[in-house]
Chains A and B, each alone.
Chain A
Amino acid sequence: MNPVIINLWYVVAAALFIFGLKQLGSPATAVRGNILSSLAMVIAIGVTLFNKEILSFQLILIAAAVGAVIGAIAAQKVEMTSMPEMVALFNGSGGIASLMVGWAALYNLGNTTFTDVTILLSIVIGGMTFSGSILAWGKLSEVMTSAAVVFGAQRIVNAAILVGLIVCSVLFCMNPAVDSPYLYAVIGLALLFGVMAVLPIGGADMPVVISLLNSYSGLAACAAGFAINNNILIVAGSMVGAAGIILTNIMCKAMNRSLGHVLFSGFGAVKQATKVEGEVKPIVAEDAFLILEAAQSVSFVPGYGMAVAQAQHVVRELGELLEKNGAEVTYAIHPVAGRMPGHMNVLLAEANVPYDQLVEMEDINPRIDNVDVAVVIGANDVVNPSARNDENSPIYGMPIINVDQARTVFVLKRSMGSGFSGVDNPLFFGDNTRMLFGDAKQSIAAVVAEFKG
């Protein structure tokens, strides 16, 4: 096919990608948006096969079939609780694909220096995305420790890697060849850099990291687009890059931390929160039922603990019973609840919670004092009032869901321990707080049983 015609089809594909993303703006049209976007991909792949440079199809068919089967099986099998791991792996495979496309582009004849630079960019970004994502996957799936790994000379080592990377890149560009030793050095250093970049980041900061790696996988595709002079790679890659950056920014804001602070320091080592002392007021399921039965408006505030306890289905059941009882039911979701952006929403949607009941932090906070009962399930930091009040708290300044201002707060908790960052939570001692100790799933199930009489 004529290259001009192929490029015209790429324009069509780009338009469909854009429409697809636009329709992702509302849950009502999002399914269609995803289908439009996949149609764009089919067009882009389809017309590329007519490229005159493609002479043999054997390798392509085998590779594509293997990839499609792996992808399809993974997509079917993955548990919704494991979506962060899945996205981390996808970021990684996107990265390694860009690395290889860049590398293969070195074999093209007559590359200009500009092209060589973009090839190196796609190798470097792709490589660090790959190794960083694999490490992020390891931390998320707890194959390795999810804690921040920090050692003394870390910054010096990282700086040395970065300098080495730049020096080798420059040396390579001065004399580009596919068998240049500097090429292998660049690949190795890029992989090492990805590992070193994710190593010092702790489990609670993972939402930021996968968002950022998501962005990098797009930028790597973008760089590969420059390397092979292809518009559609640049358009699609930069959309992905933009998506990742926006999400990274939202996550950082929701934790009141700068990106630099997330990337370069372990969490909470410096400040010691004021220890709060007080008395907790435990209640049993029967009393919880009596209070809930009288409530006009109930808001559930889930955290990752809810997913760990697999409590989302009983929570939805309780929500339905409360609605039948005449209460207004909402699910208030903090942006960093869960292990990735929007994770809680997906878990609740899977449990058949309608999406119009899922509300964001900014929507619930102004009307929180009209909420009769706020039920905190497996969340801790995101409802900790010391983020508002205690300047010594490591999470001071982080926006929270102000459940302490609701008329009554139920906190479901396994026992009296502190949450992920080890911060003491004065919420537990509040006058209007009642603690429901035990496994979240069993506690809710007990309340549901009371409702059913």
Chain B
Amino acid sequence: MEAVFLAMVLMLSIFLGFELISKVPATLHTPLMSGANAISGITIVGALISAGGESDAMSSYLGAAAVMFAMINVAGGYLVTNRMLSMFKKKDAGQPGGKS
């Protein structure tokens, strides 16, 4: 039953994802990708549970390594996306060329 429930969640979020993301304009596709990189760092949630468990040393080490890789995605992804998005300015908002 658990599996069916998870499959339901999967199905709904795929449809929702398609709806949301097809509305992102081409201008923002690069930030969308780096933002998606950051979101894929969500595996950190699973990694934390393995890393903090004390059942088996190997499992903890695998988890810790996964925490590190996922954290690179989370921190790097959100920061670089923010850096990129802050560059997009509307015409009269702020003097173009004013900031270097």
A: residues with CB less than 8 A from B are 14, 17-18, 20-22, 24-28, 30-31, 34-35, 37-38, 41, 44-45, 48-49, 51, 53-57, 59-60, 62-64, 66-72, 74-76, 78, 80, 83, 86-87, 90-91, 93-94, 96-98, 100-101, 103-105, 107-109, 114, 178, 210-211, 214, 217-218, 220-222, 224-247, 250, 316-317, 320, 333, 335, 340-343, 345-346, 349-350, 352-358, 360
Contact = CB atoms under 8 A, between A and B. Distances in A.
B81 A238 contact: no
A24 B74 contact: no
A354 B96 contact: yes
Interface residues of B, number: 84
B77 to A, nearest CB: 6
Contacts of A91: 37, 40
**Max count, chain A CB within 10 A of own CB: residue among B39, B45, B89:** B45
A54 B48 contact: yes
Contacts, number: 379
Interface of B is mostly: helix
A238 B44 contact: no
B27 A97 contact: no
Contact of B40 (A100, A108, A217, A352): A217
Nearest to A76: B79
A233 B46 contact: yes
A355 B62 contact: no
A312 to B, nearest CB: 11
Contacts of B62: 100-101, 103-104
B72 A70 contact: yes
A233 B27 contact: no
Contact of A28 (B31, B50, B84, B90): B90
B67 A233 contact: no
A114 to B, nearest CB: 5
B69 A96 contact: yes
Contacts of A358: 27
A353 B82 CA distance: 18
Nearest to A358: B27
A41 B55 contact: no
27 contacts: A30-B31, A41-B41, A41-B78, A48-B44, A55-B52, A59-B63, A62-B64, A63-B64, A72-B76, A76-B79, A90-B34, A90-B72, A91-B37, A97-B44, A100-B62, A221-B42, A230-B45, A236-B39, A239-B13, A239-B21, A239-B36, A243-B36, A341-B33, A343-B30, A349-B84, A354-B89, A360-B25
Given A63-B68, A227-B46, 12 more contacts: A14-B13, A21-B24, A24-B35, A45-B74, A54-B48, A86-B76, A101-B62, A104-B66, A218-B39, A232-B42, A240-B36, A355-B89
A210 B32 CA distance: 13
A346 B31 contact: yes
8 tightest A-B CB contacts, nearest first? A67-B71, A54-B52, A242-B17, A342-B29, A71-B76, A71-B75, A75-B79, A341-B29
Contacts of A245: 18
Contacts of B59: 104, 107
B47 to A, nearest CB: 5
Contacts of A342: 26-33
B17 A67 contact: no
Contact of B46 (A55, A94, A230): A230
Contact of B38 (A38, A80, A235): A38
B30 A224 contact: no
Given A21-B20, A55-B54, A71-B79, A354 B91 contact: yes
A103 B68 CA distance: 15
A75 B68 contact: no
Contact of A31 (B6, B68, B69, B82): B82
Nearest to A99: B66
B33 to A, nearest CB: 5
A109 to B, nearest CB: 8
A210 B48 contact: no
A337 B61 CA distance: 42
B48 to A, nearest CB: 5
Contacts of A220: 40, 43
Contacts of A211: 33
Contact of A71 (B31, B77, B87): B77
Given A341-B26, A355-B27, A70 B76 contact: yes
Nearest to B77: A90
B45 A48 contact: yes
Contact of A64 (B24, B30, B71): B71
A107 B57 CA distance: 10
Given A59-B51, A59-B52, A346-B31, A237 B9 contact: no
A331 B25 CA distance: 15
Contacts of B60: 56, 59, 104
Contacts of B82: 31, 34-35, 38
Nearest to A115: B3
A59 B22 CA distance: 40
A56 B37 CA distance: 28
